[in-house]
C-alpha cells in the first residue's frame, strides 16, 4: 500500500491539474508517512526543502534564465532574427529557415526553450503573416525552433540532468553541440520539402535587400556574438565553469544592453520579474521531487527496478527502448523539468547498470524533452507561441507534426550512433 497509494495519488493530482511541484511533494509526503510514519516524515520535511536547493550548481539555472530575460525585453533577439531574414529570406521557405537559424543562436545564449519560442513568436509570426505564410507553417516553425534551446548549450535541461545524475555539466553542454546542429539541419530539410510539396504554405517573398543592407544588418548581431563568446568560450577554455557561466553571461548581457541604451527601469523590472517567476517554478519542482525521492529511497523502489531490469532476459537495447517510449509518453502530459526530476532517480541507475554512457543518455533524454515540448496535449512551446502570436493553438499542433517526425528520426540516429554525442567532449580536455 505504501507504494501503490502515493503513485496513484500522484497520477490523480496531475490529471486534475494540480501544479507539478505540489503534486510531487504531496504524493511523496503521503508515501513517507505510510512508509516511515510521522516522525520520519517531519524529519525529512525539516531538512529537504533547504537541502535540495542549496547546491551551488543550481545557481546556473536562474542566471541563464535571467540572461534570456535581459535579451528578450531589450529586443536583442529581434535584431538577430531581422538580420537572418535579410540573408536567408529569398530561399524557398526562407523565413522559416531564418527562424531555425535564429532559434539555434538564441538557444546558444538563453538555454530556455519557452523564452526562445515566445521571442520568436512575437517577432517572427507578424513578419510571416505579412508575407501570407499559412498559420500551421508559422506556428510549426516558431514552436519547433524554440526547442533547439533544449539541446544547444547552455541547455537548462542538460544542466539539470547533470546536477541530478552527478554527471559533468561541462561535458554535457559540449556534447549537445553536434546533436543540436543535426536537429537544426533536420528542421531545415523539413521546411525545404514542405515548401516544395506545397508552395502556398510559404509563398515566395518580394524582399530583395542589397548586399550593402545585408552587411549593415550584421552590425546588430555584435551583442549576440559578444555574449556567445563570453559564455561558450569561457566554458570551453576552462576559464569559468558551466555553473559560473550563467552569472557571467547574465552580467555581460546586462552590461552590453546597458551600453546600447536599450534598458529602462521598467524593462529591467520586467526581466527580473520574469526570471524570478521561472526560477521559482523550477526550484519548487526540485523541492517537491526531493521529497518524492526520499520516498522512493525509503521504499527501495529504485533498487527493485534496477534488479528487475538486470534480471530480464532481453537485450539491454530493449530496456533502453522501453525507457525512451516512457519518456515520450510522459512528454505528452508533463512538464519536461518535472519528468527529469521525477524519473531520473529511477531510470539513471538502470541505464548505468546496463553499461550505457551517462553523457550519451543525457542527450537521449534531452531529445525526448524536445519532442515533448511540441506534442499535444501539453506541448508547452505551441501554447507559448500561440499566445505570443495570437494564432490558434490547434493550427500550431498541425504545423509541428512533420518536424516531430524528423525529431524521431534524429533521435533514432543519436541512439544508433552514440559517437555523435560523445566524440566532442572526449576531444576537449
**Average pLDDT across the chain, whole number:** 82
Count other C-beta atoms under 10 Å from residue 309's C-beta. 19
pLDDT grade for 203, boundaries at 50, 70 and 90:
confident
- Write out the DSSP string of 8-60: HHHHHHHHTT--HHHHHHHHHHHHHHHHHHHHHHHHHHHHHHHHHH--GGGGH
The residue extents of the domains of the chain are 56-427
- The yes-or-no verdict on residue 329 having pLDDT over 90 is no
pLDDT grade for 306, boundaries at 50, 70 and 90:
low
List, in order, residues 6 or more apart from 109 with CB less than 8 Å away: 67, 68, 71, 154, 224, 227, 228, 231, 249, 253
CA 343 to chain centre: 16
Query: pLDDT above 70 covers what percent of the chain?
Result: 92
Mean pLDDT along residues 53-81 = 77
What is the pLDDT at residue 403? Answer: 95
Its pTM stands at 0.78
What is the pLDDT at residue 51? Answer: 76
Give the model confidence (pLDDT) of 153-191 as tens digits: 878 889 889 988 989 888 898 899 999 999 999 999 999
What is the pLDDT at residue 351? Answer: 92
Mean pLDDT along residues 203-210 = 73
- The yes-or-no verdict on residue 1 having pLDDT over 70 is no
Count other C-beta atoms under 10 Å from residue 253's C-beta. 27
Count other C-beta atoms under 10 Å from residue 77's C-beta. 26
Mean pLDDT along residues 329-349 = 79
Give the model confidence (pLDDT) of 387-421 as tens digits: 777 788 888 889 999 999 999 999 999 999 999 99
List, in order, residues 6 or more apart from 247 with CB less than 8 Å away: 59, 60, 63
Radius of gyration of the chain (CA): 22
CA 392 – CA 245 distance, rounded (Å):
37
Higher-scoring residue by pLDDT: 8, 389: 8
Give the model confidence (pLDDT) of 207-245 as tens digits: 677 777 777 777 777 887 888 788 778 877 778 877 788
Please choose, from the candidates 217, 207, 216, the residue with its C-alpha nearest in 3D space to the C-alpha of residue 91.
207
What is the pLDDT at residue 163? Answer: 85
What is the pLDDT at residue 426? Answer: 86
Give the lowest-confidence range in 78-92, 232-246, 285-299, 397-411: 78-92
- The yes-or-no verdict on residue 355 having pLDDT over 60 is yes
Mean pLDDT along residues 266-283 = 83
CA 174 – CA 426 distance, rounded (Å):
10
User: Length of the chain in residues, anyone?
Assistant: 429
- The yes-or-no verdict on residue 302 having pLDDT over 70 is no
Higher-scoring residue by pLDDT: 380, 165: 165
What is the pLDDT at residue 25? Answer: 85
List, in order, residues 6 or more apart from 220 with CB less than 8 Å away: 79, 80, 82, 83
Amino acid at each position: 500500500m505504501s507504494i501503490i497509494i502515493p503513485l496513484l495519488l500522484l497520477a490523480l493530482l496531475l490529471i486534475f491539474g494540480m501544479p507539478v511541484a505540489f503534486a510531487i511533494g504531496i504524493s511523496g509526503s503521503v508515501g513517507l508517512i505510510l512508509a516511515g510514519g510521522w516522525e520520519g516524515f517531519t524529519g525529512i520535511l525539516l531538512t529537504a526543502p533547504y537541502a535540495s536547493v542549496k547546491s551551488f550548481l543550481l545557481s546556473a539555472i536562474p542566471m541563464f534564465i535571467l540572461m534570456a530575460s535581459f535579451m528578450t525585453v531589450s529586443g536583442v533577439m529581434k535584431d538577430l532574427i531581422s538580420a537572418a531574414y535579410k540573408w536567408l529570406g529569398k530561399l524557398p521557405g526562407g523565413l522559416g529557415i531564418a527562424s531555425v537559424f535564429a532559434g539555434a543562436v538564441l538557444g546558444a545564449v538563453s538555454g530556455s526553450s519557452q523564452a526562445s519560442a515566445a521571442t520568436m513568436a512575437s517577432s517572427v509570426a507578424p513578419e510571416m503573416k505579412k508575407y501570407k505564410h499559412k498559420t500551421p507553417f508559422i506556428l510549426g516553425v516558431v514552436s519547433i525552433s524554440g526547442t533547439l534551446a533544449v539541446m544547444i548549450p547552455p541547455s537548462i535541461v542538460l544542466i539539470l540532468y547533470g546536477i541530478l545524475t552527478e554527471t559533468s555539466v561541462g561535458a554535457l553542454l559540449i556534447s549537445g553541440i553536434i546533436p543540436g546542429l543535426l536537429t537544426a539541419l533536420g528542421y531545415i530539410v523539413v521546411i525545404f520539402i514542405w515548401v516544395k510539396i506545397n508552395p502556398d504554405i510559404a509563398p515566395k517573398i518580394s524582399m530583395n535587400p542589397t548586399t550593402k543592407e545585408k552587411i549593415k544588418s550584421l552590425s546588430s548581431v555584435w551583442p549576440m556574438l559578444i555574449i556567445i563568446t563570453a559564455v561558450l568560450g569561457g566554458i570551453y577554455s576552462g576559464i569559468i565553469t558551466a555553473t559560473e557561466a550563467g552569472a557571467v553571461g547574465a552580467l555581460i548581457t546586462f552590461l552590453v544592453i546597458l551600453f546600447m541604451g536599450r534598458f529602462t527601469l521598467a524593462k529591467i523590472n520586467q526581466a527580473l520579474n520574469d526570471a524570478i517567476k521561472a526560477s521559482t517554478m523550477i526550484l519548487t519542482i526540485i523541492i517537491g521531487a526531493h521529497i518524492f525521492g526520499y520516498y522512493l529511497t525509503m521504499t527501495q523502489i529504485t533498487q527493485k527496478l534496477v534488479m528487475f531490469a538486470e534480471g530480464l532476459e532481453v537485450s539491454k537495447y530493449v530496456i533502453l527502448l522501453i525507457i525512451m517510449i516512457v519518456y515520450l509518453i510522459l512528454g505528452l502530459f508533463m512538464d519536461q523539468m518535472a519528468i527529469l526530476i521525477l524519473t531520473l532517480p529511477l531510470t539513471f541507475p538502470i541505464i548505468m547498470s546496463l553499461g550505457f554512457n551517462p553523457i550519451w543518455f543525457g542527450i537521449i533524454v534531452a531529445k525526448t524533452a524536445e519532442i515533448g515540448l511540441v506534442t499535444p496535449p501539453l506541448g508547452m512551446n505551441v501554447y507559448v507561441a500561440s499566445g505570443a502570436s495570437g494564432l490558434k493553438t490547434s493550427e500550431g499542433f498541425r504545423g509541428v507534426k512533420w518536424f516531430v517526425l524528423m525529431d524521431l528520426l534524429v533521435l533514432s540516429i543519436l541512439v544508433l550512433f552514440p559517437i555523435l554525442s560523445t566524440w566532442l567532449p572526449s576531444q576537449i580536455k
